[in-house]
Amino acid sequence: MEILSFDELYAIHQSAMQVLEDVGVAVLEPTAFQLLKANGAGVDERSRRVWIPEYLVKDAVGRAPSRFTLHGRNSLYDVRIEAKRVYFGPMIGRLNILDIETGHRRRTNLSDVENLVKLTDALDSYRLIHSGAIMPEIEDVPSTTAHVQGYLSSLKNTSKVVKATARGRQRARDCLRMAAVLAGGVEELRKRPMVYTTVNPISPLTHSLEMTEGLIEYARLGQPVDVCPEIQAGATGPVTLAGVLVQQTAEALSGIAIAELVNPGAPVFYGCCSTVMDMRRGAIALGAIEAGLLNVASAQISRYYGLPSRGSAGDTESKVIDVQNGYERSSNMLLSALAGINYIFYPGTLESAKTVSLEQLVIDDEICQMAYRAVKGITVDQDTLGVNTIAAVGPGGHFFGQEHTLKFLQEQLIPSLSNRQSREEWEKAGSKDLWAVARQRAKDILKQHHPEPLDPSLEKELSSIVKEIEKRGSDPSSLCPQR
């Protein structure tokens, strides 16, 4: 799905290059600042402003791979990032959770992290797993160790690919150290990336100290980095969507340039978490339809540069699982999937991503399945056209007993949550709404699903790292938001 012409893509590119060359970006991390300076960028030492020439950006983009593989603890869950592959990644690390028993919002604790990750391990639609490592705070866990305790709890509850934090140099190093243990050593981790992260520029046009420190650490070890601006149109970026795309491209490509200067060939995503600000209340609107349009355009821009893409869809401003929740998240999830975004992030969240829900993760799994089915489209060939079967049945017959029906039944998505009973059947079964059905399914999964356990020796080594960091004591970095 495309909404921009080639001329419009080129205009966005040219405008982004003009911004980087004439306006510049602030780069607050000293190593990145000096790398850009040494490679031809103009700089102002006092303001930390950097003016990046187009040739430097083009060289960086040319070095970034168009495809790469992220490896799960179980190779069945390896994720191949390349053109025409779409993956959904759920949100885990939020400060708040809707309690599955009461339905009320409360703070997320470490047990919640374990349950959230365990649930996503069981749901087939999810392959790139956000983790407790990303949370700036976990209830009753010291801020000095939340990143490693959250990461270890996540690793113990899924054998899929798990995300970790880039929020500061030390936190990034802690998580990368644990990922290296999981991989069998630092060199094995370089060969087979097993962790990834997100780096959010601070809009407008600023690469913060902490996030850039994390970017450098991940890039050095060749672990994928999603450089993802989160512009709010009309507040931290232009009110026009075209203007947002220009600023977003300047922010993302300057971050990618830093990654490629640190380690040529480092895997990266061109990311989009941009949307509009609701001007009536001065707050972000992650469920806005404009977020979906920006994702479609961003998928095109990433293909223009030959870069993998990350988008954001599956959130809502609704506080509960209601009609607004459904239409906001499903429309943007479908748009992003049809656009060909490689990694679509945010399923499982509500309330502008302030809150996560076990029930919502279950519901979003079904929405993801619908999106995947839409992406597959309709196969038209001699067999699927079914002329011989139509002739065999003839006027007035039926197709229930035909071999063709059995052979191609998999063309239909059979939902596990959506109710297709008659009203009478539904009432006889208890008249349960979708929230109640999803809640029961989540409970059943948590009771019955047993994630593939960590090797005991690995778990022991990872636990010893967590204990070592607990003894370290001081908070290694600030708690800036990370999406």
Instruction: Please report, for the chain, the start and end positions of each structural domain, with discontinuous segments joined by +.
Output: 6-61, 67-376, 382-411
* The pLDDT of residue 106 is above 60: yes
Q: Mean pLDDT of all residues in the chain?
A: 96
Q: Contact at 8 Å (CB) between 49 and 60? A: no
* CA distance linking residue 60 with residue 43, whole number of Å: 18
Count of Cβ atoms closer than 10 Å to residue 429 Cβ: 11
Residues 6+ apart with CB under 8 A from 305: 61, 253, 270
Burial environment of residue 235 by CB neighbours within 10 A (0 to 12, 13 to 18, 19 or more) = middle
434-444: pLDDT as tens digits: 999 999 999 99
3-state secondary structure of 469: helix
Helix (H) or strand (E) holding 340: none
Q: What is the pLDDT of residue 477?
A: 46
- 204, 231, 201, 229: which is closest to 215 by C-alpha? 201
56-91: pLDDT as tens digits: 999 999 999 999 999 999 999 999 999 989 999 999
3-state secondary structure of 414: coil
Q: Contact at 8 Å (CB) between 286 and 353? A: yes
Share of the chain above pLDDT 70, in %: 98
Give the pair of three-digit tokens for residue 81. 């990032």
3-state secondary structure of 225: strand
* The pLDDT of residue 408 is above 80: yes
Q: What is the CATH number of domain 67-376?
A: 3.20.20.480
Q: Determine the average pLDDT of the residues in 200-225.
A: 98
Per-position DSSP letters for 43-91, written without gaps between them = EETTTTEEE--HHHHHHHHHHS-S-EEEPPSSGGG-EEE-TT--EEE--
Q: Determine the average pLDDT of the residues in 21-31.
A: 98
174-190: pLDDT as tens digits: 999 999 999 999 999 99
**N-to-C CA span, the chain:** 25
Q: 30-60: string of b/e by CB count within 10 Å (b at 16+)? A: eebbebbeebebebeeeebbbbbeeebbebb
Give me the torsion for CA of 367, 194, 339, 203, rounded to 10°: 100
Q: What is the pLDDT of residue 473?
A: 75
pLDDT band at 479 (very low <50, low <70, confident <90, very high): very low
115-127: pLDDT as tens digits: 999 999 999 999 9
Taking the model in full, what pTM does it have? 0.95
Q: What is the pLDDT of residue 93?
A: 84
Q: What is the CA radius of gyration of the chain?
A: 23
pLDDT band at 382 (very low <50, low <70, confident <90, very high): very high
- 329, 316, 358, 435: which is closest to 121 by C-alpha? 358
Give the pair of three-digit tokens for residue 126. 């999810």
134-148: pLDDT as tens digits: 987 999 999 999 999
Integer angstrom CA distances of residue 118 from 150, 335, 337, 345: 13, 28, 25, 18
* The pLDDT of residue 483 is above 80: no
Residues 6+ apart with CB under 8 A from 287: 315, 316, 317, 318, 324, 328, 329, 332, 352
* The pLDDT of residue 313 is above 90: yes
Residues 6+ apart with CB under 8 A from 241: 233, 290, 293, 294, 297
Count of Cβ atoms closer than 10 Å to residue 71 Cβ: 19
State the DSSP code for 163.
E
Give the pair of three-digit tokens for residue 98. 């809707």
Q: What is the pLDDT of residue 475?
A: 54
Q: What's at 69, amino acid-wise?
A: T
